[in-house]
Structure formats: C-alpha cells, structure tokens
Structure 1
Amino acid sequence: HESYTLGFGLVDYAVFTVMLLVSMFIGLYQALKKRSNGAPSADDFFTGGRSMPAVPVGMSLCASFMSAVQVLGVPAEASRYGFKFLYMCLGQSINSLLTALIFLPIFFRLGITSTNEYLRMRFGRGMQLLGSVQFLLATLLYTGIVIYAPALILNEATGLNLWLSLLSTGIICTLYTTLGGMKAVIWTDVFQIIVMLSGFLAIFIHGTILVGGPGRVLEIANNGSRINFHDFDVDPRKRYTFWSLTVGGAMVWLSMYGVNQAQVQRYISCRTERAAQWAIFVNQLGLCLIVSTAATCGIVMFAFYVGCDPLKSGRISSPDLYMPHFVFDIFDGYPGFPGLFMACAYSGTLSTASTSINAMAAVTLEDILRSHLPQMTQARLVLISKGLSLVYGVGCISVAVLSSFLDWGVLQGSFTVMGVVSGPLLGVFLLGMFVPGANKLGAYFGIVAGYCVSIWLAVGSTLYPPSAESMGVLPSYTDQCAPTNISLSNISGSASISSRGLHNFYSVSYLYFGAMATSSVVLVGLVVSYATGRKVTMDPLHMEFVKFSLRKIYSGIQLFTIKHLIFVDTFCPLVLYWFNMPPNREYDYLNTILLSFCV
C-alpha cells in the first residue's frame, strides 16, 4: 500500500459540515419549541420534563460514551490485541443488568435530579459535596480527552491547526447544549448514533471487499492470532483477557452507567420506571452493535495491513491514528467517505461532550447552589443553568488543550480517568446501598483509601509503563513494506523487560484500576463502620429495593446465559461454515464459562 498525504476534498467538507449543522439545528429547534410552549423550568432543562420515550433515551445512553475515543480506540485495540475485545460486550451486559435492576429503581423512585442527593440522604451533606467535586473533576478530565480525539483526526486529515480544531468542537457542543438542554442532547444523540453506525458499516464493507471477502479477512486474522476468544489467562498484567474485559470492564462501565450523573440524568428523564429499564436495554443493544462493528473494523484493518503495519513501519506515530489512516487509504478516490468518517468521529464527541456539560451544570446547581438560592424563580434558575453550561464548555476545551500533552492512547486515557476518579465513588454508593451498618466515618475512610489506591496505580503505571510483552501485544509485520517507508527504530522488537516487585504491580491492566479502587472503598468502609460500632438506620423500602433487585439479577443472569448458550452452539458454527473455516474449540470455551454462570 503506497503512502500519500491525507486530505479532504470539497465533498468531504460538505458531508462533515452538514452533520454539524444538523446537530446545531436540533438544539435551536428544541430551544424555540420550549419558548413557544411557555417558560421552561430547570427540571425541563436537565431531565426533559421526565417525559422522554424509551427508545431515543436508550440510543442517547449508548451514544454518550461511544465518542471519538471509541471510534479511534476500539479498532486500534482489536487490531493489536485481537477479536477477544468483543468480550467487552459481556462486561457491558453485566453493567446494564445491574444498572437496570438495582441502581435505576432507587434513583427513579427517589425522584432526584442529582445522584449525589442520595449520598446526602445516606451519609450527609459533606459526602454529597465530595461526590459532586469528584464528578466534576472526572467529567472535566474525561470530556477533555474526548474533545481532543477528533481534533487530532481533523488536524491529521486537513492540516487545520490543532487548537482551532479543539476550539470549534467545544463551541459547537456547548452552544446546542446551552440552548436546548436535555431534549436537545437526547435527540441530537439519536442522529449522531445513526451517523456513527453508518460510518463503521461503510468502512467494514469496503475494507472487506478490498481484502478479498469475509473468508479471506478471517483467514488472515486467524493466521495472525487475532481470532483469540480462548484467552482465559488470569494474569492481571495482560491488557485484555476474558477476565479483564468482563470483570474489570463491567466495573468501569458500572461507574459510568450505574452512578454517573450524565447517564442517570438520561434514564430518569423517561416517563416511567419500566420505560427507563427498556431504555437501558436498548442502550445495551446499541453498545454491543457499536463495539462489535468497531472491533470488526479493527480486524479488517489488520488484514488490510498484514504485510506492512503502519505503526511499525513508521507511517503513523500513534495507535490512535490507525483508523483515520486506514479510512483515507481505502477511500482514496471516493469523495465524501472520509468526510463521513470525520462526521462519525465528531458525532460521538459532540454526544459525549454535550452530555457531560449538561450533567456538570445539573450537579453544580442541584448539589452546590440550590440550597443557597431558595427564593430563585424558575426563569432565573434556567438562566443560571445555561450560564453554567457555557462555563463548563470553556473548561472542557481548556482540559482538551492539556490532554494533547499526554502520552496515553485515547481509549486507555478515558477508561483510566473513569476508573481512577469514578471507581471510589461507585464504592461509596455500593457501601451505602448494600451494607446497612455502614456509617459516615466508614464512608469517608473508604473513599480516601479508594483514591489512594487508584491514584497510586495510575501514577505508577505512567512512570513505569508495562512492556508490550507483558500486555500481550500480538505480532505485526513489515515484510511487504517498501524500503523507503520503513523506520528501523520501529522495526526492532521490543526488548523483553523483566518486571519485578512494584513494577509487576504497576503493570496491572488499566481495566482493573476501577475495580481495585471500588473494592478498597467497600472493604475499608465496612471494617471501619463495624469497628466504630456506630449504628445507622435505613429506610425499609430501600432494603426492599435491594432484595427485589438481587432476585431479579439471579433470574436475569440465568436467562442471559441460556440465550448466549443457544447463540454460541448454533450461530458460531454456521458463521464458520459460511466463511469456509474449520470449526475449532473456541466456542467450547465459551460454553464452559457460560455453563458455570448457569450453575
């Protein structure tokens, strides 16, 4: 494959511009519609008046964390680590089940706008403020990385100044969030998720045709060890295994969906609790669809570059640039498709950034300012909400500028931020909901311990990064590259680094950071609470929620695994037969794991 300069044509700019204009139009339409229906309230701005239907809310839930981080990161990780990345869908499914059956009923029936209101009810005003500050910090950092990712693509593709790219992205999502509120965010997300899926499908179909068809793609991927569903290694240093993607992944996603204000604010905007649960299940279907198509694009990308890996040959400087480079390679001479990819990346970013800005404004108003503004009119509250959205939009752009100096990949960076900062807060919610004897002192000691563990892990892994060998990076090749394209410094294999002691500890997969932080909070909080002997009272209705939820989870897991057994035993052999590949034992491994869940 010959190298060439990436670039946008007029048609690409037109496709990209239309997508941005549609997003802006939705925000303006919702703002004008509100004014024609009378003065909106703060509740309308933050929760859409709690009247949204389940399907668009579910699509919005899905789109909010399917940003340019996933558009760039998931294909790159699948290409480098294999198709086992699909186990992330199982981790997401566990998260959706827990969120729908435990966290949603509690938040929905309490009728709260901010999740941190629960912390005030359970552990007092101080914990509410601590939770609010934590959320604002985590969301600012995460959104900064999200805004940086597509700006990097735009800079590579068009030569547009990186800072100008960051500024334009931030301004657009800030404007339509400020104007339209939650309804604008949700309906824009519906449009943007359609754009994202269209982009992935176009890349998958055209890339597969160029490689020689689905059978050829799977043959090359299998020969390159990319069809690796049988990786059940328990070594926590390996970046992706069945256990890290399901257990570690489920905990990271639970911190983002179960108690994260940005997501809770969406599903409590539904008309009823049942509609909110359906929204979460619609979201899960969309998550699996997007992750599957993105990972499949990564496998197609590996097959396309099997003899001349762009990263190893020096054609790109970072794994995050795999996908844009691939798109411009396969769609060279097809005007409009690079623009569709750019729209795909920006769609996810606008969705995530707008969600974050709206949620930060809600938390600030409800948790910090509301108690000091008892006599404030609804019109003034809405005005303050819009002002807060504007301020946080500027803050996110500023953090995006700082993100450009980080050496992490966008996927690892975003998941690390959520695990490190949100993991301890998830632990406090679990402590409050499932440990009746947990008290205020235990919660404070627990969250401090959780932050110490998570920050220690994050800093240590940054200062002492794990080797490619310990992470399980699969081999790539440059034997078919033209000599002028090869960078000798990149071809030499990674030296085997002998890790000992703390270096081994710092090499733990980033997906476990959140789980370790959450576990630390629960363990320390439980010990301190019972050691101090201070009893607390709990609403009996609250305990009924928990008992009911646990029964539903048990029956739900059984049904879930039985359905997957049927899928594995019937669908997988048919696919292998269709692609002219001999059956293997990989779906037998799946059967073993799923049967253990049934038992």
Structure 2
Amino acid sequence: MSGLDWVVFAVYFGGVVAFAWRQSRKNRGVEGFFLANRRLGWGAIGLSVMATQASAITYIGTTGQAFDDGMEFVQFYLGQPIAMVILCVVFVPFFYRSKVFTAYEYLERRFDPRTRSLTSFLFLVSRGLSAGIVLYAPAIVLSVIMGWDERVTILVMGLITVAYTIMGGITAVIWTDVLQMIVMFAGIGIAIAVLFSTLPEGVGVGDVAYIGGIHEMWRSIDLSWDPTNRYTLWSGLIGGLFLALGYFGTDQSQVQRYLTASSLRQSRLSLIFNAFVKVPMQVFILAIGVLLYVFYHFERPPLVFNSAEATMVRESPRAGAFATLEAEHERTHELRRESTLAVLEARRSGEDPAALQGRIAGYDDELARLREASKSLVSEVRGSSSNDVNYVFPSYLISYVPAGILGLLIAVIFAAAMSSLDSELTALSSATVIDFYRRYVKPEGTDAHYLLVSRLATLGWGGFAVLFALYAGRLGSLVEAVNEVGSIFYGALLGVFLLAFLVKRATAAGAFYGLIFAMLVVLAVSRFTEIAWLWYNVVGTLAVLAVGLALRRRGPEEPAEPGVPSGSAATA
C-alpha cells in the first residue's frame, strides 16, 4: 500500500470509530449496552442487519466463489425476501411486545427454563464458531497486502474490535454498521468500475458478458431437484428460506437489532428494507467475481493466488516442480488469451467463433488442471490442505487497483469484518449474561454489576473468536463455511420458535426433546449422507415440529395473559 492508501485507510477507519463512539455515549445501563435503550429508527437498524450478514466474507468469499463457480451462488439468497415478510408478520410482533433482551428469554416465558438455556447454548456454540471465521477473512487481505503473518493480523483486529465494542456497546456497533454499509455500496461500484478500466482497450461490457456466457459463468438458475447439488433454485427458495428464517428470526445477532427499534413499525421496516436491497447487492458482488474471471483471460492470473504459499513452495525442495507448473501455466494462458481475442474479433466481424470457443474450453481445462496440481504441491509442502479461492480478489486489488482507491477498498473490507465481529460479540455477550449469568448465577445483581459482567463477557468471546480464527483458514471457501456451520443449528432452532409462535398446544417437553432429536438428525444427515447443507435447515425444522406435534397438549387451552401467546408455561 502507498502512503496515500494509508491516509485514506486511516481517515476512513478513524472517522467511523469516532462517530460510533460519540453515538454510544447516549447509552444508559445494561439496556443501553445491549439494546441502545430501544430508541433507534428503521434505517440504522436495516443497514446494521445487512452489515452483520455482509461481512468481509461477502467481499472476499463471495467474489472468490463466483470466480470458481459463476453466479449460481445467488440462488442461495432467493428465499430471503420471502423470509423477511414472514418475519415481519409472525416473529417480530412476539419479540417486540415481550420486551425481552434475547430471543431465548422469550422461550422461557413460552415453555420453560431448560428450553431457553439449550437454545441459547446452541446459539453460543454456532455464533462463537462463525465469529472466528468472520475474523479470519480480513486477515487474508492484510497478509497478502502487507506480508504479515495471518496470526498477527487476527490478533490486531481482534483486540481493536473487542476494545471499542466493550466501550460503546450495541450503539457503537450499529452506527459503525451504518457507515460501513454506505461505503460498501460505494465500494461495489468502484470495484466494478476499476475492473472495466483495467480490461484491454476495446473490450467492453458486451464482450465481458459474451466471454462469461461462453463459460456459463452468468448462469444463475439450476432447476435440478438433486438434493446433493449445493445451489439450485429449489435449495435456494426452500432451504435458503428456512436458513434465512432461522438466521434472522432466531439468531440473537439479528434479533438484537430489531429489539433496539423505537416501535414495532420501525422493526418491520428495517426487515422490509433488507428484503428489497439484499439480493441486488449480492448480484453485484457476485458479478465482481465473474468479471475477475473474464479479466484473467487477458491478464495472466497467479498460479497460486496466495502469494505467501507460492513463496513457501519456491523456497522448498519442490521449487523445481513448481517452476515447471508455472512455465506451463504461462504458456497455456497466453494461448487462451490469443484465442479469446480471436473470438472477440470474429464476433465483431460477424464470423462464426464456435471453433475458437472450443479451443478456449480446452485451454480452460488445462489451466484448471495446472491449478489443481499447484494446490496439491502446496498442500504437500505445508503439510495441510490448500484452498486459495479466498485470495482471488485481494490478489487483484494489490496488483491492479490505483493508489488511494486501494486504501478505500481495503478499508471497506477491514471495517466490514470488524462490524460483523462486533455485532456477534454483543449478541454473544448478551446471551451469556442475560440467559445464563443473570438467570442462574446472580439474579439480583445491580445494573452496574451486570454492565461490568457484560463487558467481561465481550472480552471472553473476543478471545474465543481469535483462537478459532487461527483454524478457519483450513475450511475452504469462507462464505460457504460460515453458512454451513450455521445450517447445522438454525433449522432446529427455527423449529422451536415455530412451535412457540404457531402451535398453541405445544409443550415444553415437545420443544426441548424435539430440539435434541433434530440436532441428532441433522448431524447424522451431515455425517452419513451427501445432502447439500442448505437442506439441513429444512431437516432440522421438520424434525422439531414432528416431535413437538406428537407431544403437544391434548386438553382444553387456558386463557393467555395479555401479550403472551396461549400455552405459555412461565409468564413471570
């Protein structure tokens, strides 16, 4: 990074943190630390909801995913707008009117303490693991750009994020998210503009669309019903719907956001905003990955996008074999480049480019073979598996993006990661303190005492996230890893909340044992079948509902207290 990049980076990042800290001074007590004293509007909450999901993984993992597989990952998001409408109608009114701190606190009122504790514990496990993945993502960027060890960058980012989250609470988190999302929208446009500006002269939008179309990179809809296929229209509309309901409707990192709203209407508007904006945003981010794929038809891509791994192999006894692969890679790329330019020329002159397209496909296969061979070589040298899909976009940034713009894009990725991590830390600490410490350890503590414990809990979860982040690099595509981890849990959690909201005669036993049964079923499906992970959410939800309905109460229903659904086991 140049001096100008550092200035842009420092000004942007410093401004975001200062603004968030100033806003957080309005907090009062534990309710201020966790819920901003329930005074925020839909715009800030909506952007924060989006930012919590749109972490650095969105920029790094999604672009890398599209570089390898094209636009098919967009199917993953197709169920989300439908989920937002369902949440507004079914979930949000229950949460908002109950005036709870956590989603799981509501389950004690509806069922019993053990259901609340088990669901909260599962949230802590799943979100604690994903917090580590979120922290690892920007470490990739900084390790490539600055040549730092990933462990150092993980520690630095973890310490900074924990520090301002402890000081500012949820208000600092939400206002950081607001500014981060505004700049992220700008960053998407800038990244696409820069990509087009670095293409060869004369190569325009139509040519890019054509080249991507040759390789079916723009194909975004797969109508297959094959449950082992990760991304299809049906896995997105059905599995993605269940995942979105589970994530936005039962995950404390999301529920906590719309509990900060000043009214029920503001909570609903924040989710409707996401229903309209999220999918288009993801389309543009995926398009960046496809544009990178097309760009590297003209510029030679690295054989290994992770420069640190490439250096490690060059300095190992396997350097000769790697040099041979690089020479073959350079030669094959030049042949593909010439054929690509010839195809475009034939297209402009009205000739049939079919034969040349077949030649390009052959070169693509050879380049893919060489890339796989290089990964095997890297894995042999480092002693563990290698997957450089998450380095594709960072590698492009440091090689082709002009000074100043690079600093801004790096700042976006850096702040995105920290905004997602701080969101998860506040959610993890709120569940820890409210669902366990205040419920079982010290029920009669003062507000000042709980505020101190909340900050200590934030510190503890920050340390856990750092430790897990050191392992996250072995998980392959980050955007898949973080959602796959969540899919193990979200379906079962969603099933419990659907019992609470929709089944009047549901019992505490049905919810508790249904949750345990569903977790066992999902783990068995993930371990012993080839079913794609998006369907885990459907399996988990249906398993809970099956047990819950089998164990529901048979007798007459007692009248419910105002504001609490009938069938509540504990209304105090």
Q: Is the 8 A contact 1:114 1:261 kept in 2?
A: yes
Aligned to 1:324: 394
Higher mean alpha-carbon deviation, 90-99 vs 104-113, is at: 90-99
Read off the aligned partner of 1:304 and give its amino acid letter: F
1:512 aligns with 2:535: yes
1:376 aligns with 2:399: no
Q: Is the 8 A contact 1:105 1:545 kept in 2?
A: no
Read off the aligned partner of 1:326 and give its amino acid letter: Y
1:81 is matched with which residue: 64, 69, 81? 69
CA shift, 1:374, in A, is 4.2
1:362 aligns with 2:383: no
> RMSD between aligned alpha carbons?
2.4
CA shift, 1:67, in A, is 0.6
Counting only pairs closer than 5 Å after superposition, residues 430-509 of structure 1 correspond to structure 2 as 430-458=498-526, 460=527, 505-506=529-530, 508-509=531-532
Q: Matched residue of 2:198: which SS?
A: helix
CA shift, 1:439, in A, is 1.5
CA shift, 1:379, in A, is 2.2
Give the whole-Å Cα distance in 1 for the aligned partners of 2:233 and 2:227. 11
Give the whole-Å Cα distance in 2 for the aligned partners of 1:57 and 1:268. 9
Rate the CA distance shift 1:229–1:417 in 2: closer, same or farther, 3 A.
closer
Counting only pairs closer than 5 Å after superposition, residues 137-148 of structure 1 correspond to structure 2 as 137-148=125-136
Give the whole-Å Cα distance in 1 for the aligned partners of 2:448 and 2:245. 35
2:90 is matched with which residue: 102, 105, 113? 102
Aligned to 2:108: 120
CA shift, 1:68, in A, is 1.3
Read off the aligned partner of 1:204 and give its amino acid letter: I
Aligned to 1:573: none
> Bigger radius of gyration, 1 or 2?
2
Rate the CA distance shift 1:457–1:349 in 2: closer, same or farther, 3 A.
farther
Q: Deviation digits for residues 266-319 of structure 1, max 9, x if unmatched? A: 111111101111111223334224312211112211221247665635488421
Q: Matched residue of 1:82: which SS?
A: helix
Q: Is the 8 A contact 1:30 1:183 kept in 2?
A: yes
Counting only pairs closer than 5 Å after superposition, residues 541-552 of structure 1 correspond to structure 2 as none
Give the whole-Å Cα distance in 2 for the aligned partners of 1:400 and 1:534. 50
Aligned to 1:483: none
CA shift, 1:49, in A, is 0.7
Rate the CA distance shift 1:536–1:147 in 2: closer, same or farther, 3 A.
farther
Read off the aligned partner of 2:408 and give its amino acid letter: L
Q: Is the 8 A contact 2:24 2:171 kept in 1?
A: no
Aligned to 2:309: none
Rate the CA distance shift 1:30–1:179 in 2: closer, same or farther, 3 A.
farther
Rate the CA distance shift 1:85–1:409 in 2: closer, same or farther, 3 A.
closer
Q: Deviation digits for residues 295-352 of structure 1, max 9, x if unmatched? A: 1112211221247665635488421112212323431xx1123322222222221111
CA shift, 1:228, in A, is 1.9
Rate the CA distance shift 1:393–1:538 in 2: closer, same or farther, 3 A.
farther
Query: Relative contact order, CA 8 A, sep 6+: which one is greater?
Result: 2
CA shift, 1:20, in A, is 3.0
Q: Percent identity?
A: 27
Rate the CA distance shift 1:512–1:377 in 2: closer, same or farther, 3 A.
same
1:23 aligns with 2:20: no
Normalised TM-score (structure 1): 0.76
Q: Is the 8 A contact 1:412 1:510 kept in 2?
A: no
1:193 aligns with 2:214: no
CA shift, 1:79, in A, is 3.0
Rate the CA distance shift 1:535–1:226 in 2: closer, same or farther, 3 A.
farther
CA shift, 1:447, in A, is 1.0
Q: Is the 8 A contact 1:42 1:382 kept in 2?
A: yes
Aligned to 1:336: 404
CA shift, 1:440, in A, is 2.0
Q: Is the 8 A contact 2:557 2:566 kept in 1?
A: no
Counting only pairs closer than 5 Å after superposition, residues 190-589 of structure 1 correspond to structure 2 as 190-211=178-199, 212-306=203-297, 312=368, 313-314=370-371, 317-331=387-401, 334-371=402-439, 372-404=441-473, 406-458=474-526, 460=527, 505-506=529-530, 508-529=531-552, 537=558, 539=560
CA shift, 1:120, in A, is 0.6
1:152 aligns with 2:152: no
Rate the CA distance shift 1:294–1:230 in 2: closer, same or farther, 3 A.
closer
Give the whole-Å Cα distance in 2 for the aligned partners of 1:70 and 1:509. 21
Give the whole-Å Cα distance in 2 for the aligned partners of 1:510 and 1:85. 13
Read off the aligned partner of 1:265 and give its amino acid letter: Q
CA shift, 1:158, in A, is 1.3
Give the whole-Å Cα distance in 2 for the aligned partners of 1:268 and 1:259. 12
Read off the aligned partner of 2:524 and give its amino acid letter: W
Read off the aligned partner of 2:119 and give its amino acid letter: G
Q: Is the 8 A contact 2:36 2:170 kept in 1?
A: yes
Q: Is the 8 A contact 1:439 1:535 kept in 2?
A: no
Higher mean alpha-carbon deviation, 409-418 vs 210-219, is at: 210-219
CA shift, 1:145, in A, is 0.4
Q: Deviation digits for residues 468-487 of structure 1, max 9, x if unmatched? A: xxxxxxxxxxxxxxxxxxxx
Q: Is the 8 A contact 1:436 1:538 kept in 2?
A: no
2:5 is matched with which residue: 12, 22, 27? 12
Q: Deviation digits for residues 491-529 of structure 1, max 9, x if unmatched? A: xxxxxxxxxxx5xx32x2222222222222222332244
Q: Is the 8 A contact 2:76 2:231 kept in 1?
A: no
Q: Matched residue of 1:237: which SS?
A: coil
Which consecutive unaligned segments of at least 5 residues does structure 2 have?
305-367, 376-386, 568-572
Q: Is the 8 A contact 2:75 2:221 kept in 1?
A: no
Q: Is the 8 A contact 1:220 1:303 kept in 2?
A: yes
